[in-house]
Every structure is written in structure tokens, then in C-alpha cells.
Chain A
Amino acid sequence: MAKKVEPLSESYYYILLCLARGPGHGYGIMQETKRLSRGEVLIGSGTMYGATGNMMKKGWIEETASQMENGKRRRMYRLTPLGKEILDAEIGRLKRMLEGAEEIEWEGNHSETA
């Protein structure tokens, strides 16, 4: 069981989420994040470099064999079992928050039904 961790930032969350499907490179993660967040979350190069470095130090992701793409060597990352636990814990936390919100009858709903 993963120990209690701070809520992830959007960048960390989307990087882990993108890697949950399988190994990926930085550029792919940036593009996939844009798609999954409907264009709301962009991960800049400085943020990406810092986040992958930090997550590798924490053991959440690891580097795997690099890949050649369009003549460019691309560094590939993959989720570790610990990274998977962290992501699962974060998804669980977000689900609980959403369930809590759904239980609340919004003020707007009252006025509609009245």
C-alpha cells in the first residue's frame, strides 16, 4: 500500500497517467497531456524536465531503452510499481472528491426544481 502522499500537481498527475498505458517519451507525454486535458493543461519543457527528474529520484518512473523517431533518439520513460501505486492513490482521491461533490444538492438545482 502506498503511504499517504501530497495531492499531485496537474503536471505530475498527467505524466503518470500518460505512462500508465505504457512507456512514452517526453514529447509524446506533452502531446497526450494536451489531448487528455482537452487542451487545458500544457506541460512546458522546463516543467517536464524537472518533473521527470524528480519522479525518477522518487522512483515513480524510470528510464527505459531509448527509441529512434524521425532520425531523433528519444528517451523513453515507464511507470514503476511505486509510480502505479501513487497514480492509483491519486485517482482514488479524485474519485472520492467527485463523489462528495455529487452528493451535494447545488443551490442552482434547488432554484430549478422550485
Chain B
Amino acid sequence: MRQHKTLHAVYGAWEYRKEIENLNRESLDGWQLIRGGCFYSRFERDEGIVYRYQIDFRGRIRNMPQYLESFRDQGWEYINSTFNGWHFFRKVYDPAMPDEEYEIYTDEESIAQMQGRWRRMAMVIGSVCLVVAIATLAVIRFSYRPWIHILMAAGYFSGAMLLFTGVHRMGRTPRETRRGRTGWLWFIMMMVCFIAAFCIAI
């Protein structure tokens, strides 16, 4: 029987709760996370233990030992961090303990702060992508190979759109996201902006 496996599952940052649920389900099935990532996760087989997982977004941490101490104190084991500031933790599951013992954010304010940190980062990177996309379109008329510029601009624009969509969805439950119509409105608005920028450029 395999002792390790790799899952290629990509989650949007706003879907971090869904990712946590999936990690918990894998643990129940005997697969324990040993490395979390943005594009793939590594697991090892261990049916003798069940963990509960948490993912924290903190960006760059100035004082990592102090940060980890806060988690160790409550029985959390640090797994790893991703390049973009997500930190993975796990705690041995005890069915006798209340669910709150497996939460790392225990009030609305700190949850909002965590989501706000990601939103700010996404807004900055998304805005940079948007500016680069517009600048790339603006130089099309001077280019010998305009299609390369169009493809590059579309790539940057898609990146910006993805991040802005994340900003819009972060903190919403899947049900709220499904109910909301503003997601489509946002998508249409972005497409209109892109087509307008393209028309101006050519």
C-alpha cells in the first residue's frame, strides 16, 4: 500500500475553509498532511491518528518564533508555510474536546483582520497586474507582433480579475456567494474594461 500521496488541488484564497474541511476529511481517511501548498499537497499514510487542520494567512512575519509559540501553546503543530504567506497547522483531534478548541480565530474581529490582510495584498497585486495589462495594450501600435502583447495583456488582466474576484468573495460563505449576483456584474464590468482598453490601444 502507498505510504505517500500528492493531491493537485487548487483552491482560491477565499476558499480556505473548504480546503481545511478537505484536509480534515483526508485525515479521517488516514492521510495526514506533511506539506501544504498552493498547487499541490503532500500526505503520508497514518491511520493511527486524526488531526484537525487550520490555515492562517499572515503574510511576512517579522518574529516567527513568537508567532509559532502562540500556536504551540495551544497544542498546534506547525507544518509549513507557502511562498505567499499561508501557514499550515495541525492539532491531534480529541472527540471529547469542543469544536472551539480547533479554531485559531475565536472572534469576528480577528477573522475580519485576517481576511482584510489578504484583501489588501490581493488589491495591491491585482492593481499592479491591471496597470501592466493596460501599459502592455498601450504599446501595441508600436509593436511588430501585436498578438504577443494582446496575449500578455490578457494574462495580466486575467490575473487581476482573479484577484479582484477573490477580494469580492473573501469572507463570504459559499451560500452567500451563490446567492449574490454581484459576482457576474463584476465579471461583466471587468470584461467591458478590457475590451474598452483594447479598443483604445488599437
Contacts and interface: CB of A to CB of B under 8 A. Distances in A.
Interface of A: 9-11, 25-27, 30, 41-52, 74-75
Contacts of A50: 110, 113-114
Interface string B79-91: 0000000000100
B93 interface: no
A42 B109 CA distance: 14
Given A44-B105, A44-B110, 6 more contacts: A11-B110, A42-B103, A45-B73, A49-B70, A50-B110, A75-B69
Query: Chain B: interface residue count, which band?
Result: 20 to 34
Contacts of A9: 107, 109
A30 B101 CA distance: 11
A46 B114 contact: yes
A77 to B, nearest CB: 11
Contacts of A42: 100-101, 103, 106
A27 B109 CA distance: 20
A26 B74 CA distance: 9
B74 A44 contact: yes
B69 A44 contact: no
A10 B103 CA distance: 16
Given A51-B110, A75-B66, A46 B73 contact: no
Nearest to B63: A53
A110 B27 CA distance: 56
A38 to B, nearest CB: 14
A51 B110 CA distance: 8
A27 B110 contact: no
Given A9-B107, A10-B107, A46 B66 contact: no
B106 A44 contact: yes
B110 A47 contact: yes
Contacts of B71: 45-46, 49
Interface in B53-89: 54, 56, 66-67, 69-71, 73-74, 76, 89
Contacts of A26: 69-70, 73
